[in-house]
C-alpha cells in the first residue's frame, strides 16, 4: 500500500501540492472561530455535586449577586485607608457603575479589610456572557476607567475576578503562543542546519508544516463546534508544539531513509518511492498509536481533556497525511538538491558514532538493558511523592498578572477563603417549606467543621423550599487544605440535613474536589484503554504478541521516570505543593504515544535487518546504526520544541514543557536507543512469537549470522541493491 502511495505522489507531485493548497485555503476561509473558557466548572459533567449546586442556585436564586470582577483599592504608600480614601473609593465605584460599560450591570461597594489597608467594589456583569470575550473586554475598560478616576487621589486601583482573569489569561496565552512559536521555529531551523548543513532542507519542514497547521486548525474548529466540545486557551499552545514537533519527526523519518536510499544507488525519484515504502508503515503505525492515545481522552469526564484529545488527534492525522503525500511530493520535485550545498549525503561517514553504539549493543545487550532499565526505575521512584494542585486559572498565567496580584492580596487581607466562599444549599425533597427553626442548629453544625472560619444563613427562596448557607474556609479555595475541608463540609451537611431535605455543596473548592474525583476516575479508565489500543497497533505491526508487552513495559517505565523527575524538580527542589492536576494524563499520553513512535521506528528497522538474514544481536546493531540518527535527531528536536513551552511564563505550561521535553528525551535517548534494541537482542527470535517477523525474506542469509536458523534465499527485486550496498560496508 505504501509503495503505491509513494508511486502516486512522486508521479503527480504538482497535483498533490495543488490539492493541499486548495484544501488549506478552503478550510481556513470557512472554519468557525472558537470561544475559550477558564471556568473550571465548565470542565465537569452535570452529575457532579458542585455542578448540581450551581444549577440549583441558578434556578432558585437567579438574582443572586455574583461578582464577575473585583475592584481592589489600597493607598499608594501602603498605609491604612483614611476617611478621605474611603470616600474616593466609594466615588470611583459609583462612577464606574454610571458609565454604561458594556456587560456591566452594577457596581457595589464592598467591605474594608480587617487591617484597614484595603477596600473593594464588586462588579456584576451579564451572566449570559460569562467567561466570553465580551466580559474580558469589559474588564479591560474597567481597568482603564478605574485608573483614570483614581488620578488625583492617593489610591492604587487594581481589577481582578473572573472577567479580569479571562482577560489576563487571554493575553498570557497570546504571548505564550508567540514565544513558543518563535522558539519552535528557531530550534527546528538551527538543528536541521547543524545536522544536514542544507538550508533548503532546514526551511522546508517549517513551510510544509505551516500549511498543515492551517488545515489542522480549521478541522479542529469544525470538530469542536460540531461535537460541542470545550475549548481552552492552553490547547492552542500545545497544538503548535505537536504540529511542528511531530511533523518534523515524520519529515526526518522520510529524509533519513531517502538519503540512505540515495547512498545505496537509487535513482532520486525511485529513492523517494522506496523511502515511503520502507518507512511508511512505521510512520502510519506511529501516528496511529498517537491518534488512538489522544482519542482515548474522549472517555475523560473533564471537558478540557475531552476537547484536547480530538483536537490533537486531528492534528496528528493531518500531519500523517502530509508525511505520506505532501512531503514526498515536494522533495521528489527538488531531488538531491535538497541537501545542497553539503556533499555529505552521498556517502555514510566511516566510524559513525551510532555504528559504534550499535556494536556495543550487539556485544553486551544485557549490560545496556540493565543500565538503561536502572535509570528508568530510579527516576520512577519520584512518583511516590506526587501531589496534585487544581487552580487552573492561576496556573495558566504568571503571578505578576494584575488579576493574580488582586487574588493574592485579597487572600492576605481578608480571610484566605473569603475570595471564593463555599455555598451549601438545603432544599426540600417533598416540595414542603423548610423548617426555619432548624437553620441555627444547621449553621452551628457547618461552623463546627474543622477548617471552617465562619458559616451563616444567607437567603431563602420565595417558596421557602431552598436555603443558601455561606461557609468561609480557613484556606484558599485551591489549596489541599480547602479541598479536604470541603469534603468534611459535604459529609456534615449531608448527615445533618433534616428529614425531607437534601444538601448540596457548591463553590470553587467543591468544584476542585469534584475535579480531583474526575481525574482519579480518568486515570483508571483512560490510561488502560490507551495502553490496550496501542498494544493492538503494535501487535498488528509486528505480528507478535510478545514484543508489544515489553515495548509497553518500557514505555511505562519512561512515563514513570518522567513523572518522577518532574516531581523531584518542582515539588522537592522548588518546594511547590504539587503539580497541575491534568499533567500526569497529558504526560502519559504524550510520553506513551510519542515514545511509542520511536520504539516503533527502532523495532521496525530491527525487523527489517533481521529479515535480511541477520541474527538478533546483529540486527539490533544495524538498527541502532541506521535508525539511531533518526531517533536521536527527532527526539532532540521534539524535546527542545516541548521545552519552548517553558517560555510562556506560567505554572501550567512550565511544568508541562519540562515534563514533556524530559519524557521525550528519556524515550528517545534511553529507551528507543538502548533499552528496546537490547531487550530485543536478548529475547531473540522469541520476541516475534507466534509469527516469524524476523524470518529472512528475499536476501541471502549472511555468513555472519552463524546458525541463526534462517533459511538461505537468493536476493530478488529491489532488495538486491540494498543488500549489495550493505555488504560493501
| pLDDT value of residue 718 | 37
For the chain, percent of residues with pLDDT exceeding 90: 41
Residue 58's nearest CA partner among 107, 135, 130, 109 is 130
User: In whole angstroms, what separates CA 158 from the centre of its chain?
Assistant: 32
Paired strand residues for 502: 427
Q: Which residues of 11-49 are buried (b: 16+ CB within 10 A; e: fewer)?
A: eebeebbeebeebbeebeeebeebebbbebbbbbeeebb
Answer yes or no: is pLDDT of 74 > 50: yes
Residue 294's nearest CA partner among 239, 360, 257, 230 is 239
Q: Summarize the confidence of residues 31-50 as an average pLDDT.
A: 68
CATH 3.30.70.1320 domain residues, the chain: 421-506
DSSP string, 525-556: HHHHHHHHHHHHHHHHHHTBSSHHHHHHHHHH
CATH 3.30.70.1430 domain residues, the chain: 68-160
User: What is the CB neighbour count within 10 angstroms for residue 165?
Assistant: 26
Q: How confident is the model at residue 704 (pLDDT cuts 50, 70, 90)?
A: very low
Answer yes or no: is pLDDT of 128 > 50: yes
Q: Summarize the confidence of residues 449-468 as an average pLDDT.
A: 93
- Tens of pLDDT along 261-302? 998 889 999 999 999 998 888 889 888 888 888 888 888 887
Q: Are strands 452-460 and 466-473 parallel, antiparallel or unpaired?
A: antiparallel
Answer yes or no: is pLDDT of 27 > 60: yes
Task: State the Cα–Cα distance between residues 23 and 40, nearest whole angstrom.
Answer: 35
Judged by DSSP in three states, 382 sits in helix
DSSP secondary structure letter of residue 650: S
| pLDDT value of residue 705 | 37
Give the helix ranges, DSSP H, for 227-267. 233-263
Max Cα separation, the chain? 99
Compute the C-alpha angle 315/515/228, nearest 5°: 45
Residue 251's nearest CA partner among 275, 227, 271, 231 is 275
Residue 167's nearest CA partner among 387, 5, 402, 499 is 402
User: In whole angstroms, what separates CA 410 from the centre of its chain?
Assistant: 31
| pLDDT value of residue 413 | 83
Paired strand residues for 501: 428
DSSP string, 176-224: HHHHHHHHHHHHHHHHHHHHH--HHHHHHHHHHHHHHHHHHHHHHHHHH
| pLDDT value of residue 728 | 36
Compute the C-alpha angle 128/133/135, nearest 5°: 60
- Write out the three cell numbers for 335: 531531488
Phi then psi for residue 466, to 5 deg, are -140, 135
Superfamily of domain 421-506: Multidrug efflux transporter AcrB pore domain like (3.30.70.1320)
To the nearest 10°, report the CA torsion of 233, 234, 236, 240.
Answer: 160
Compute the C-alpha angle 603/260/615, nearest 5°: 40
Task: State the Cα–Cα distance between residues 45 and 49, nearest whole angstrom.
Answer: 10
| pLDDT value of residue 425 | 96
What CATH number has the domain spanning 68-160?
A: 3.30.70.1430
- Tens of pLDDT along 175-201? 777 777 788 888 889 988 988 889 999
Task: State the Cα–Cα distance between residues 642 and 82, nearest whole angstrom.
Answer: 51
The most confident of the ranges 310-314, 563-567, 624-628, 684-688 is 563-567
| pLDDT value of residue 591 | 78
Global pTM reads 0.75
Task: State the Cα–Cα distance between residues 41 and 514, nearest whole angstrom.
Answer: 9
Phi then psi for residue 428, to 5 deg, are -75, 140
User: What is the CB neighbour count within 10 angstroms for residue 570?
Assistant: 21
- Tens of pLDDT along 391-421? 666 666 777 889 888 888 887 887 667 767 8
Q: Is residue 549 within 8 Å of residue 538, measured between CB atoms?
A: no
- Tens of pLDDT along 504-529? 999 989 999 998 888 888 888 888 88
Judged by DSSP in three states, 501 sits in strand
Q: Summarize the confidence of residues 122-134 as an average pLDDT.
A: 73
- Write out the three cell numbers for 227: 461535537
Task: State the Cα–Cα distance between residues 560 and 377, nearest whole angstrom.
Answer: 8
Alpha-carbon distances of 342 from 185, 275, 347, rounded to whole Å? 22, 21, 11
Rg (CA), the chain: 30
Q: Summarize the confidence of residues 101-126 as an average pLDDT.
A: 89
Answer yes or no: is pLDDT of 713 > 50: no
Judged by DSSP in three states, 124 sits in strand
Q: Tell the burial category of 363 from Cβ atoms under 10 Å away from its Cβ (0-12, 13-18, 19+).
A: exposed
For the chain, what is the mean pLDDT? 84
Residue 243's nearest CA partner among 273, 276, 219 is 219
Task: State the Cα–Cα distance between residues 401 and 121, nearest whole angstrom.
Answer: 19
Amino acid at each position: 500500500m505504501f509503495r503505491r502511495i509513494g508511486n502516486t505522489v512522486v508521479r503527480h507531485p504538482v497535483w498533490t501540492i495543488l490539492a493541499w493548497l486548495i484544501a488549506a485555503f478552503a478550510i481556513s476561509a470557512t472554519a468557525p472561530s472558537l470561544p475559550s473558557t477558564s471556568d473550571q466548572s465548565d470542565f465537569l459533567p452535570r452529575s457532579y455535586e458542585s455542578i448540581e449546586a450551581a444549577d440549583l442556585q441558578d434556578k432558585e436564586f437567579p438574582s443572586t449577586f455574583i461578582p464577575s470582577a473585583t475592584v481592589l483599592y489600597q493607598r499608594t504608600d501602603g498605609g491604612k485607608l483614611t476617611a478621605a480614601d474611603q470616600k474616593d473609593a466609594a466615588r470611583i465605584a459609583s462612577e464606574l457603575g454610571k458609565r454604561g460599560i458594556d456587560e456591566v450591570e452594577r457596581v457595589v461597594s464592598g467591605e474594608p479589610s480587617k487591617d484597614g489597608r484595603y477596600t473593594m467594589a464588586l462588579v456584576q456583569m451579564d451572566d449570559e456572557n460569562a467567561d466570553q470575550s465580551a466580559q474580558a473586554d469589559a474588564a479591560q475598560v474597567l481597568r482603564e476607567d478605574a485608573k483614570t478616576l483614581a488620578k488625583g487621589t492617593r489610591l492604587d486601583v487594581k481589577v481582578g475576578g473572573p472577567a479580569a482573569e479571562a482577560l489576563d489569561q487571554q493575553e498570557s496565552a497570546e504571548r505564550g503562543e508567540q514565544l513558543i512559536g518563535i522558539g519552535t521555529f528557531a530550534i527546528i531551523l538551527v538543528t536541521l542546519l547543524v545536522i544536514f548543513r542544507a538550508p533548503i532542507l532546514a526551511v522546508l519542514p517549517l513551510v510544509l508544516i505551516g500549511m498543515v497547521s492551517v488545515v489542522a486548525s480549521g478541522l479542529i474548529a469544525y470538530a469542536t463546534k460540531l461535537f460541542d466540545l470545550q475549548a481552552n486557551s492552553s490547547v492552542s499552545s500545545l497544538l503548535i508544539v505537536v504540529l511542528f514537533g511531530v511533523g518534523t519527526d515524520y519529515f526526518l523519518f522520510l529524509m533519513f531513509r531517502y538519503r540512505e536510499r540515495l547512498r545505496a544507488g537509487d535513482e532520486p525519484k525511485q529513492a523517494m518511492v522506496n523511502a515511503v515504502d520502507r518507512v511508511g508503515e512505521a510512520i502510519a503505525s506511529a501516528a496511529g498509536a498517537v491518534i488512538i492515545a489522544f482519542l482515548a481522552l474522549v472517555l475523560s469526564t473533564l471537558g478540557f481533556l475531552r476537547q484536547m484529545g480530538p483536537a490533537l488527534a486531528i492534528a496528528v492525522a493531518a500531519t500523517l497525511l502530509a508525511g505520506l503525500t505532501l512531503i514526498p511530493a515536494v522533495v521528489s520535485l527538488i531531488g538531491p538538491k535538497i541537501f545542497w550545498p553539503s556533499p555529505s549525503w552521498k556517502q555514510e561517514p566511516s566510524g559513525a558514532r551510532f555504528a559504534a553504539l550499535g556494536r556495543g549493543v550487539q556485544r553486551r545487550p544485557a549490560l545496556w538493558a540493565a543500565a538503561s532499565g536502572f535509570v528508568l526505575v530510579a527516576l520512577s521512584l519520584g512518583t511516590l511523592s506526587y501531589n496534585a494542585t487544581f487552580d487552573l486559572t492561576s496556573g495558566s498565567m504568571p503571578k505578576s498578572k494584575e488579576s493574580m496580584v488582586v487574588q493574592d492580596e485579597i487572600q492576605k487581607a481578608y480571610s484566605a477563603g473569603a475570595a471564593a466562599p463555599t455555598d451549601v444549599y438545603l432544599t426540600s425533597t417533598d416540595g414542603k417549606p423548610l423548617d426555619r427553626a432548624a437553620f441555627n442548629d444547621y449553621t452551628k453544625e457547618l461552623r463546627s467543621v474543622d477548617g471552617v472560619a465562619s458559616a451563616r444563613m444567607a437567603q431563602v427562596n420565595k417558596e421557602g423550599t431552598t436555603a443558601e448557607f455561606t461557609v468561609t474556609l480557613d484556606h484558599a479555595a485551591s489549596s489541599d487544605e480547602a479541598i479536604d475541608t470541603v469534603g468534611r463540609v459535604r459529609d456534615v451537611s449531608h448527615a445533618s440535613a433534616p428529614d425531607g431535605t437534601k444538601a448540596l455543596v457548591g463553590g470553587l473548592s467543591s468544584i476542585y474536589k469534584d475535579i480531583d474525583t474526575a481525574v482519579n476516575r480518568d486515570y483508571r479508565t483512560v490510561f488502560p484503554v490507551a495502553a490496550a489500543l496501542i498494544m493492538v497497533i503494535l501487535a498488528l505491526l509486528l505480528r507478535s504478541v510478545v514484543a508489544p508487552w515489553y515495548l509497553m513495559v518500557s514505555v511505562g517505565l519512561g512515563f514513570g521516570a518522567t513523572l518522577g523527575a518532574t516531581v523531584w524538580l518542582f515539588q522537592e527542589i522548588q518546594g511547590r505543593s504539587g503539580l497541575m492536576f491534568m499533567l500526569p494524563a497529558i504526560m502519559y499520553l504524550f510520553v506513551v504515544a510519542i515514545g511509542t513512535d520511536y520504539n516503533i521506528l527502532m523495532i521496525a528497522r530491527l525487523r527489517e535487518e533481521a529479515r535480511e538474514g541477520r541474527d538478533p544481536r546483529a540486527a539490533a546493531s544495524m538498527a541502532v546504526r541506521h535508525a539511531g540518527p533518526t531517533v536521536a535527531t527527532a527526539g532532540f528536536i521534539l524535546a527542545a520544541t516541548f521545552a519552548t513551552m517553558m517560555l510562556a511564563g506560567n505554572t501550567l505550561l512550565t511544568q508541562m514543557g519540562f515534563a514533556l521535553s524530559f519524557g521525550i528525551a528519556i524515550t528517545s535517548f534511553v529507551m528507543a536507543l538502548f533499552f528496546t534494541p537490547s531487550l530485543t537482542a536478548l529475547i531473540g527470535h522469541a520476541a516475534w512469537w507466534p509469527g516469524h517477523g524476523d524470518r529472512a525474506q528475499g536476501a541471502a542469509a549472511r555468513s555472519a549470522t552463524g546458525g541463526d536458523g534462517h533459511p538461505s534465499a537468493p536476493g530478488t527485486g529491489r532488495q538486491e541493491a540494498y543488500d549489495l550496498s550493505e555488504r560493501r560496508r
